[in-house]
Amino acid sequence: MSIDPRRPSSRDGDPPLSTGGAIEGRLGACGRLVRAYDRDRYWSALLAPADRREALFALYAFNFEIARVQEVVSEPLLGEMRLEWWREALEGICAGRPRRHEVVEPLAEAIDRHALPRAPFDALIDARRRDLDDGGFATLDALRDYAGATTVPLIHLALRCLDAADPPALDAAAGIGPAYGLAGLLRAVPFHARRGRVLLPGDLLTDAGLTPQDVIEGRSRDRLAGVVGQVAGHAGGLLRPLRVARRARPALVGAVQTRRSLDRLARCGHDVFDPRLGAPQPLDPLRLVLWRLHGRA
């Protein structure tokens, strides 16, 4: 899938006249990593002014690295060690001695250039420690809190890179982050099920007469769709009409991506195992460009 954000002009910090292919040809290590493994945030970074993209790619590559820890370790202790490695890497950056690493070095440059605070990075690492617990979430509130903890600090950092961390944008992030995280968790239900994990709220599963093993084995998909519909409805309710500056929009396109994801899920009857959910969506990048330019998609 490619994008061609051609514009009549490049004033007001809008993306310059360029093709997606040309941009991809100039990607550094972080950009290539994000393009390969986090397409949503990859497209959002392309909507930012050219001189801010590398910083965003560095943030999103860091996020990918800590988010995948649970998937690449064989036991929680090894995951704790990997997360501690990243915490120590941040300490090195703050001390002016960044480690030689394809993500750490660009991240150090982004932190220095945009005066990014340490606290949101630590918050993201702390949130990812929850991934090392294979148990699910007892309630929808607990799942929403986790979704927010793994997204909102990242949005705040992205807004700082865009010089757009004003109160309206930060307030918008408080709803967009959890909604985006919940939508992503719903999309990932089949992936997690294949790995023997179920993160859907335990109380909703119980009310539907389901067990985690039912989800893992793909049983009772109609009842599972009811649970998914409740989580999706909660995610949609977190989104509000946005009144933010244009420069903030690349960090907040999760609102558009979440609505599109929830709409597709609804059209499939909230069946997370429906193969249509994996179909390519070639118009989605264009919708993001329209929202970046005009505030609508």
Is 0.85 surpassed by the pTM of this model?
yes
Ordered domains of the chain (ranges, CATH): 14-115 (no CATH), 134-297 (1.10.600.10)
pLDDT at 296: 57
Please give the pLDDT value at position 21. Answer: 52
pLDDT score for 13: 39
Residue 23: pLDDT above 70? no
- 14 Ramachandran zone, left/alpha/beta (phi>0; psi -120 to 50): beta
Q: Which of 18-22, 178-182, 183-187 has the lowest mean pLDDT?
A: 18-22
**What's the mean pLDDT in 27-45?**
94
Note the Cα 36 to chain centre separation in Å.
14
Q: Give yes or no for a contact between 47 and 15, defined as CB atoms under 8 angstroms apart.
A: yes
**pLDDT on residue 135:** 80
| Angle, CA 66 vertex, CA 63 and CA 67 arms, to 5° | 80
Which pLDDT score, from 0 to 100, does residue 10 have?
33
Closest CA to 89 of 78, 79, 100: 100
| 21 vs 294 pLDDT, higher one | 294
Q: Does residue 246 surpass a pLDDT of 60?
A: yes
269 DSSP assignment: T
Q: Which residue in this structure is represented by tokens 């929808």?
A: 140
pLDDT tier at 12, thresholds 50, 70, 90 = very low
Q: What is the pLDDT of residue 5?
A: 28
Percent of the chain at pLDDT exceeding 90 = 79
Contacts of 71 (CB under 8 A, 6+ apart): 195
Chain centroid to Cα 161, Å, comes to 16
Does position 35 have pLDDT exceeding 90, yes or no?
Answer: yes
Between 19 and 122, residue with greater pLDDT = 122
pLDDT class for 15, splitting at 50, 70, 90? very low
Helix, strand, coil shares, percent, the chain, to 5: 65, 0, 35
